[in-house]
Amino acid sequence: MKEIILVKYGEMVLKGLNKRTFEDMLTKNIRRRLKSLGHFQLTSAQSTTYITPLNEDVDLEEVVERVGKIFGIAALCRACVCEKDFGDITEKAVEYLGDILEMAKTFKVNAKRSDKAFPMKSPEICAELGGILLEKFPNLTVDVNNPEITVTVEVRDTNAYVHAENIKGAGGLPVGTSGKALLLLSGGIDSPVAGYMMAKRGVHISAIHYVSPPYTSDRALLKVETLCQKLTDYCGSIAFFCVPFTEIQEAIKDNCPEEYFTIIMRRLMMEIAQKIAEKDNCLALITGESVGQVASQTMAAMTCTDAVCRIPVLRPCVGMDKTEIIEISRKIDTFETSIEPYEDCCTVFTPRHPKVKPKLAEIEKAQARFDFEPLIQKAVEGTTMKVFEYSK
């Protein structure tokens, strides 16, 4: 029996003329993820991609696991390839799904006939095959409303396919189809989730992280790199920029009023991020901010940080509760790393009483007391880059 994987598109089926671009990107992303598992033929037709293993001993469980994390896919399933012949379809259904049908009590047959030249219509396929399965498996009864097993027959272009349940895909759009954006990645819980959420909308992610040695340690940086590596499961390859931020933070501490430390620091982070974004062709910045979470995440504070931004700042967590963010971080397996207790540069010189409602004019005045431009330039020049690839 020949088994393949059927991949059903998500939202991209709604795309008009440029659907092909989305399809090509999805195929490319699937190919990269499966490279280390063997050789596969990928073909696309009728809003479906067919993944056909070309080696004998492919681990299809692992294929499903990996493809389940690729954005742009609404559903996927393992399916048995049949001739477009009702006899063959019946034989394969009995053999391929025999084990689960033997265990079940209720089932129904669902038929989809996209090849209208096939001589039997869908209701006929359901009735005939249903009858045969009832005879073969006396333990079964039909339940059209809430069956344990749905035996699906799809009659398509070149073949027919038999499978049981669809598995839910990762949804969203293929990574790379919405351009690139730069994620401000800290070691916390929120920013990895923010990166995941924008990748889901088809955005190719680069990441930027600010370090302040000796106030922050090598171990803290390693933690962020681990998060970056974990994100590649969903985001594909990520260029990771590491910015030396110590001198800037010390200059803020020495020259600006304490209550404004955090806001000014965030404005300078944004300045640097934009310079890197420009070099790396990123069209927006992404942060893990959520309204009201901390003093620097009030709308007044966001006004002050956004005032230095010339490109959009995307904040996909902005309206989410911490518990909702944590739920996603567990799902994408970043939570356990995020809660490791290492310091972040943001927590180095935190003011005792940060301004909750800072006024932009006051912040600008406070920041103007010192010329940060040469230090910004130096930080950008000292920034290092390494690429994290999907590594499995």
Between residues 82 and 193, which has the closer beta carbon with respect to ligand ATP?
193
CB of 50 to ligand ATP, least distance (A): 39
Binding mask 134-173 for ligand ATP (x = CB under 6 A): ----------------------------------------
Asked whether 200 and 170 are in contact (CB, 8 A), the reply is yes
> Other C-beta atoms within 10 Å of 26: how many?
26
Is 188 a residue that touches Mg ion (CB under 5 A)?
yes
Binding mask 178-217 for ligand ATP (x = CB under 6 A): ------xxx-xxxx----------------xxx-------
Q: Of the listed pieces 81-89, 147-155, 344-352, 353-361, which binds ligand ATP according to CB under 6 A?
A: 344-352
> Other C-beta atoms within 10 Å of 87: how many?
9
Cα–Cα dist 377/391, whole Å: 34
Q: Of the listed pieces 55-63, 107-115, 163-171, 287-295, which binds ligand ATP according to CB under 6 A?
A: 287-295
Is 289 a residue that touches ligand ATP (CB under 6 A)?
yes
Residue 87 tokens read as 């006899």
Between residues 130 and 188, which has the closer beta carbon with respect to ligand ATP?
188
Q: How many Å separate Cα 39 from the centre of its chain?
A: 24
Cα–Cα dist 160/383, whole Å: 55
Total number of residues that touch ligand ATP (CB under 6 A) = 19
Between residues 160 and 346, which has the closer beta carbon with respect to ligand ATP?
346
Cα separation values, 245 from 186, 270, 310, Å: 13, 12, 21
Q: Which residues of 227-254 are buried (b: 16+ CB within 10 A; e: fewer)?
A: bbbbbbbbbbbbbbbbbbbbebbebbee
Cα–Cα dist 80/76, whole Å: 13
Between residues 232 and 287, which has the closer beta carbon with respect to ligand ATP?
287
Binding partner of residue 233 among ligand ATP, Mg ion, none, CB under 5 to 8 Å per kind? none
Q: Which of these, 245, 254, 259, lies nearest to 351 by C-alpha position?
A: 259
Cβ-count burial of 220 within 10 angstroms (0-12 exposed, 13-18 middle, 19+ buried)?
buried
CB of 283 to ligand ATP, least distance (A): 17
Asked whether 213 and 246 are in contact (CB, 8 A), the reply is yes
Is 271 a residue that touches ligand ATP (CB under 6 A)?
no
Report the sign of the C-alpha dihedral through residues 167, 173, 176, 180, in that order: negative
Prior bond of 214 cis (ω within 30°)? yes
Give phi and psi for 271, each to the nearest 5.
-55, -50
Is 287 a residue that touches ligand ATP (CB under 6 A)?
yes
Is 186 a residue that touches Mg ion (CB under 5 A)?
yes
Residue 254 tokens read as 């020495």
What 3-state class would DSSP assign to 13? helix
Binding mask 316-355 for Mg ion (x = CB under 5 A): ----------------------------x-----------
Q: Of the listed pieces 63-71, 78-86, 106-114, 281-289, which binds ligand ATP according to CB under 6 A?
A: 281-289
Binding partner of residue 189 among ligand ATP, Mg ion, none, CB under 5 to 8 Å per kind? ligand ATP
Is 236 a residue that touches ligand ATP (CB under 6 A)?
no
- In which residue are the tokens 């893990």 written? 288
Task: Give residue number: closest CB to Mg ion.
Answer: 188
CB of 361 to ligand ATP, least distance (A): 23
CB of 287 to ligand ATP, least distance (A): 4
Binding partner of residue 256 among ligand ATP, Mg ion, none, CB under 5 to 8 Å per kind? none
Cα–Cα dist 305/266, whole Å: 6
Instruction: Note the residues at the interface with ligand ATP (CB under 6 A).
Output: 184-186, 188-191, 208-210, 287-289, 293-294, 296, 344-346
Instruction: Note the residues at the interface with Mg ion (CB under 5 A).
Output: 186, 188, 344
